[in-house]
């Protein structure tokens, strides 16, 4: 180690070499993969189909006449293409994925096994209910667990994601206000700055006015500021707990009381329920509606790995507005209440059919295999792991707030001051080290935020490795190697991308490249 520069001789030697340019474009055994359309050859196919029999045209001249435009590929080409793409995908199955607020925890394979049982996997949503009693019982049991864990009397299982659950809860609140004849006068929804970004977006999408409440120096809702905003035009509050700073809103009972006494409703974003499940019952906090992300707390795959599911639990005051369908149990077994003739005050239906059945199976499997005590243990461990990471990094990085955290720990960029390294540079260097970056620049209330959520499914060994890597990167930043960070990532198939342009002007459709125009100068 050349201490004067803070660099190893190996690194110095690597930097002295020209960048690797292979003849094939591949890097190691990572293939440089063309788009499937660029690989296609007209007329090539992996199957031999007989000529279709001649049939009378019945489309009234609307049938397709031109080429369909699909790429012509052999079977091995298709297999290789998708296998190579899958190898470029980072996943919780590949390594630690500390993306704060997203709860990338292990998805137990037992869940998968249950979801693949033919009795579940081969169901059709239009089957007569007499033939799907087991599936309806499963939904009923899942509803029972969610109601028991939260202490809430009603639940809507159908929302397809957390944000969809927020939409469900806020539409129920609007329906309740309509029933009180106050939907025109109560238009304002209070949203703390420490709430998740989907909260104000949901309120605005439904037509409420969003009124922000500042966070105090402890990263929690400023109760004095909240009090000043309470009034007869307040429809309710949307509060995330634990909030996006990874902190428990200690004044939550008081906040609920203030909002409810003013005639408003308390929507709680419970996507971070994994920090408190089995320890806190949201009903006891005064919550009126709260979504639960099965794909976070209850370990069903998400991100690229599967669809979400965001059931919403409701208090007594909102229970009449729960959307259809829902499962009821009567003398003839289980059945679905599907229309408003029966559920008169239900606000309607949110999506086709009954929700993400595959996720219900996985989530209930997780609940039953853990048991109530195991769920409590899981949230204990999630909080313990986050505090372990914070304790082991707080002398070299800067925690955004004092005191312990819940399931995720939040750092800001003060430790990078005067190093010339930004939060983004730091995150890019983590990729070369084999780590998916943490959540960056979010929550917005903290400058240069880095939000790390290790989850309970990481072992102490894996956390120690992560901590050692983070410490090494901090050393490097403090040793004046800003250029190294600015050039990261170096080892990925692509280096830095124009992320703004990719988000603002995405190119989603492939068009054949025009033949190169000969340059006059050539
Ligand atoms: C993940 C998350 C959401 C949104 O959930 P989706 O399923 O991604 O729509 C909302 N709030 C919080 C606090 C979250 O962490």
Instruction: Examine the domain organization and report whether 301 and 401 are in the same domain.
Output: no
Residue 428: what pLDDT? Answer: 97
pTM for this structure? 0.90
Q: Is 194 in the pocket of ligand 1 (CB under 6 A)?
A: no
Q: How far apart are CA 311 and CA 293, in angstroms?
A: 7
The pLDDT confidence band at residue 67, using thresholds 50, 70 and 90, is confident
pLDDT digits (tens, 9 = 90+) for 135-170: 999 999 999 999 999 999 999 999 999 999 999 999
Instruction: Examine the domain organization and report whether 153 and 285 are in the same domain.
Output: yes
Pocket test for ligand 1, best of 160, 195, 196 (most atoms within 8 A of CB): 196
Pocket test for ligand 1, best of 101, 199, 301 (most atoms within 8 A of CB): 101
Instruction: Examine the domain organization and report whether 213 and 317 are in the same domain.
Output: yes
pLDDT digits (tens, 9 = 90+) for 36-45: 999 999 889 9
Q: How far apart are CA 285 and CA 29, in angstroms?
A: 54
241 assigned to some structural domain: yes
Q: Is 270 in the pocket of ligand 1 (CB under 6 A)?
A: no
Domain boundary among 333, 368, 403: 368
- Whether the bond between 489 and the residue before it is cis, its omega within 30 degrees of 0, is yes
Q: Is 310 in the pocket of ligand 1 (CB under 6 A)?
A: yes
Instruction: Examine the domain organization and report whether 324 and 407 are in the same domain.
Output: no
Instruction: Examine the domain organization and report whether 162 and 293 are in the same domain.
Output: yes
CA of 101 to the centre of ligand 1 (A): 7
Mean pLDDT, range 278-287, rounded to an integer: 98
Q: β-strand 450-452 against 398-399: which pairing, if any? A: unpaired
Residue for token pair 């906040």: 255
The pLDDT confidence band at residue 4, using thresholds 50, 70 and 90, is very low
Q: Whose C-alpha lies nearest to ligand 1, atom 1?
A: 102
pLDDT digits (tens, 9 = 90+) for 174-193: 999 999 999 999 999 999 99
Name the strand (E) or helix (H) holding 209: strand 209-213
Mean pLDDT, range 491-519, rounded to an integer: 81
Residue 153: what pLDDT? Answer: 98
Does the structure show a pLDDT above 50 at 3? no
- How many separate domains does the chain show? 2
Residue 1: what pLDDT? Answer: 44
Residue 48: what pLDDT? Answer: 87
CA of 399 to the centre of ligand 1 (A): 23
Name the strand (E) or helix (H) holding 151: none
Residue 513: what pLDDT? Answer: 66
Q: Is 101 in the pocket of ligand 1 (CB under 6 A)?
A: yes
Q: Is 269 in the pocket of ligand 1 (CB under 6 A)?
A: yes
Residue 521: what pLDDT? Answer: 43
Q: Is 242 in the pocket of ligand 1 (CB under 6 A)?
A: no
213 assigned to some structural domain: yes
Domain boundary among 311, 337, 368: 368
3-state DSSP percent of the chain in helix, strand and coil, to 5: 40, 10, 50
Instruction: Examine the domain organization and report whether 288 and 265 are in the same domain.
Output: yes
47 assigned to some structural domain: no
Q: Is 196 in the pocket of ligand 1 (CB under 6 A)?
A: yes
Instruction: Examine the domain organization and report whether 162 and 194 are in the same domain.
Output: yes
Does the structure show a pLDDT above 90 at 17? no
Instruction: Examine the domain organization and report whether 170 and 318 are in the same domain.
Output: yes
Residue 378: what pLDDT? Answer: 98
Residue 27: what pLDDT? Answer: 85
Residue 7: what pLDDT? Answer: 58
Q: Is 271 in the pocket of ligand 1 (CB under 6 A)?
A: yes
For residue 460, give the CATH number of its domain.
Answer: 3.90.1150.10
Pocket test for ligand 1, best of 203, 271, 359, 363 (most atoms within 8 A of CB): 271
Q: How far apart are CA 302 and CA 199, in angstroms?
A: 20
Of 142, 139, 156, 144, nearest to 335 (Cα)? 139
Atom of ligand 1 at shortest range from CA of 166: 10
267 assigned to some structural domain: yes
Q: How far is CA 265 from CA 170, 227, 238, 289, 389, in A?
A: 9, 15, 9, 8, 36
The pLDDT confidence band at residue 220, using thresholds 50, 70 and 90, is very high
The pLDDT confidence band at residue 8, using thresholds 50, 70 and 90, is low
Q: Is 157 in the pocket of ligand 1 (CB under 6 A)?
A: no
Q: Whose C-alpha lies nearest to ligand 1, atom 4?
A: 162
Domain boundary among 368, 391, 418: 368
The pLDDT confidence band at residue 209, using thresholds 50, 70 and 90, is very high
Could you tell me the residue range of the domain that residue 444 belongs to? 376-492
Residue 49: what pLDDT? Answer: 86
Does the structure show a pLDDT above 60 at 6? no
Q: Is 154 helix (H, G, I), strand (E, B) or coil?
A: strand
Q: Is 308 in the pocket of ligand 1 (CB under 6 A)?
A: yes
pLDDT digits (tens, 9 = 90+) for 355-407: 999 999 999 999 999 999 999 999 999 999 999 999 999 999 999 999 999 99
Least confident span in 230-244, 281-295, 371-385, 507-521? 507-521
For residue 253, give the CATH number of its domain.
Answer: 3.40.640.10
- Whether the bond between 325 and the residue before it is cis, its omega within 30 degrees of 0, is yes
pLDDT digits (tens, 9 = 90+) for 394-449: 999 999 999 999 999 999 999 999 999 999 999 999 999 999 999 999 999 999 99
Least confident span in 25-29, 347-351, 457-461? 25-29
Pocket test for ligand 1, best of 159, 269, 363 (most atoms within 8 A of CB): 269
101 assigned to some structural domain: no
CA of 162 to the centre of ligand 1 (A): 5
Q: Whose C-alpha lies nearest to ligand 1, atom 14?
A: 271
Q: How far apart are CA 275 and CA 96, in angstroms?
A: 18
34 assigned to some structural domain: no
Residue 493: what pLDDT? Answer: 85
Q: How far apart are CA 94 and CA 354, in angstroms?
A: 32
DSSP of 467-514: HHHHHHHHHHHHTT-HHHHHT---SSSS----HHHHHHS---S--PPP
Q: Please state, rounded to an integer, the average pLDDT across all residues of the chain.
A: 93
476 assigned to some structural domain: yes
CA of 89 to the centre of ligand 1 (A): 21
Q: Is 293 in the pocket of ligand 1 (CB under 6 A)?
A: yes
* Residue 415 near residue 395 (C-beta atoms within 8 A): no
511 assigned to some structural domain: no
Q: Is 291 in the pocket of ligand 1 (CB under 6 A)?
A: no
Instruction: Examine the domain organization and report whether 247 and 391 are in the same domain.
Output: no
Number of neighbouring beta carbons within 10 Å of residue 308? 22
Does the structure show a pLDDT above 70 at 324? yes
Q: Whose C-alpha lies nearest to ligand 1, atom 2?
A: 271
Cβ contacts of residue 40 below 8 Å, gap of 6+?
Answer: 70, 71, 72, 73
Instruction: Examine the domain organization and report whether 288 and 356 are in the same domain.
Output: yes
Instruction: Examine the domain organization and report whether 288 and 309 are in the same domain.
Output: yes
Residue 522: what pLDDT? Answer: 36
Residue 303: what pLDDT? Answer: 80
Mean pLDDT, range 99-104, rounded to an integer: 96
């Amino acid at each position: 180690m050349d201490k004067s520069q803070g660099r190893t001789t190996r690194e110095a030697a690597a930097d002295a070499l020209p960048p690797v340019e292979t003849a094939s474009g591949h890097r190691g055994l990572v293939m440089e993969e063309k788009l499937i359309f660029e690989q296609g050859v007209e007329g090539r196919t992996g199957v031999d189909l007989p000529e279709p029999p001649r049939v009378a045209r019945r489309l009234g001249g609307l049938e397709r006449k031109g080429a369909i435009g699909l790429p012509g590929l052999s079977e091995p080409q298709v297999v290789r293409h998708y296998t190579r793409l899958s190898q470029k995908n980072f996943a919780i199955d590949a390594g630690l994925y500390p993306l704060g607020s997203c709860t990338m925890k292990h998805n137990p394979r037992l869940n998968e096994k249950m979801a693949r049982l033919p009795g579940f996997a081969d169901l059709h949503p239009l089957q007569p209910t007499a033939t799907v009693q087991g599936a309806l019982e499963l939904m009923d049991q899942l509803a029972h667990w969610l109601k028991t864990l939260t202490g809430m009397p009603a639940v809507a299982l159908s929302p397809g994601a957390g944000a969809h659950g927020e939409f469900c809860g806020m539409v129920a609140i609007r329906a309740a206000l309509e029933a009180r004849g106050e939907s025109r006068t109560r238009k304002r929804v209070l949203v703390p700055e420490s709430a998740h970004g989907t909260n104000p977006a949901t309120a605005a999408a439904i037509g409420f006015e969003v009124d922000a409440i500042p966070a105090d120096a402890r990263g929690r809702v400023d109760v004095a500021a909240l009090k000043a905003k309470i009034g007869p035009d307040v429809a309710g509050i949307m509060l995330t707990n634990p909030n996006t700073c990874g902190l428990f809103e200690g004044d939550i009972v008081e906040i609920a009381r203030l909002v409810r006494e003013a005639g408003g409703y308390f929507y709680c974003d419970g996507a971070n329920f994994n920090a408190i499940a089995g320890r806190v019952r949201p009903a006891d906090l005064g919550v009126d509606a709260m979504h639960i992300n099965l794909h976070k707390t209850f370990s069903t795959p998400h991100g690229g790995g599967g669809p979400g599911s965001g059931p919403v639990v409701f208090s007594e005051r909102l229970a009449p507005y729960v959307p259809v369908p829902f499962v009821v149990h009567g003398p003839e077994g289980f059945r679905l209440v599907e229309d408003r003739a029966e559920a008169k005050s239900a606000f309607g239906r949110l999506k086709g059919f009954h929700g993400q059945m595959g996720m219900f199976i996985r989530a209930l499997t997780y609940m039953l295999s853990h048991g109530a005590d195991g769920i409590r243990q899981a949230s204990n461990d999630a909080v313990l792991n986050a505090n372990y990471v914070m304790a082991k990094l707080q002398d070299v990085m800067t925690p955004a707030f004092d005191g312990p955290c819940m399931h995720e720990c939040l750092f800001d960029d003060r430790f990078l001051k005067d190093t010339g390294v930004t939060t983004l540079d730091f995150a890019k260097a983590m990729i070369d080290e084999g780590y998916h970056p943490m959540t960056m620049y979010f929550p917005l209330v903290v400058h240069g935020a880095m939000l790390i959520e290790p989850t309970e499914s990481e072992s102490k060994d894996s956390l120690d490795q992560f901590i050692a890597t983070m410490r090494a990167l901090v050393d490097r930043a403090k040793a004046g190697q800003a250029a190294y960070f600015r050039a990261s990532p170096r080892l990925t198939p692509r280096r830095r991308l124009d992320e703004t342009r990719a988000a603002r002007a995405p190119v989603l459709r492939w068009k054949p490249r025009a033949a190169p125009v000969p340059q006059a100068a050539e």
